[in-house]
Amino acid sequence: MIAYRVFLEERAFKSLKQIPNPFKENILKTLRRLETSGIDTRNIKKLKGYKDGYRLRVNNYRVLFVKNDETNKTIKVYAIGHRRDVYKG
């Protein structure tokens, strides 16, 4: 059973390709876990100022996404990056 369908926007995909391998593997493993098990709220926080925006913490990296629960249980990842850079424009 799929808990959520995860989609990466082009910007997030490009950022993911630039992340060093051990961290990239952890991020991908965590995103796969969202698809199979659903959301583990320990590492997820709602972003202030965004209606459906959330951030997922994976080591020193952050995955920013929008969650759609009402219609189709999707997660759209729009940014991935180091915690010091990901929130900047």
Predicted local confidence at residue 63, as pLDDT:
96
The pair of three-digit structure tokens given for residue 61, joined into one six-digit string: 């990296």
Go through the domains of the chain in sequence order and give each one's CATH number.
5-82 (3.30.2310.20)
Dihedral pair phi/psi, residue 67, rounded to 5°: -110, 135
Q: Which residues pair with 76 in a beta bridge?
A: 7, 66
Mean per-residue pLDDT, 13-29: 96
The pair of three-digit structure tokens given for residue 31, joined into one six-digit string: 């995103």
Give per-residue pLDDT as tens, 41-78. 788 999 998 888 999 999 999 999 998 877 788 999 99
- Starting at the earlier edge strand, list the strands of the sheet with 74-82: 5-8, 74-82, 61-68, 53-58, 44-46
Separation of alpha carbons 7 and 74, rounded Å: 8
Predicted local confidence at residue 70, as pLDDT:
72
Separation of alpha carbons 42 and 19, rounded Å: 23
Q: 80, 47, 78, 50: which is closest to 63 by C-alpha? A: 80
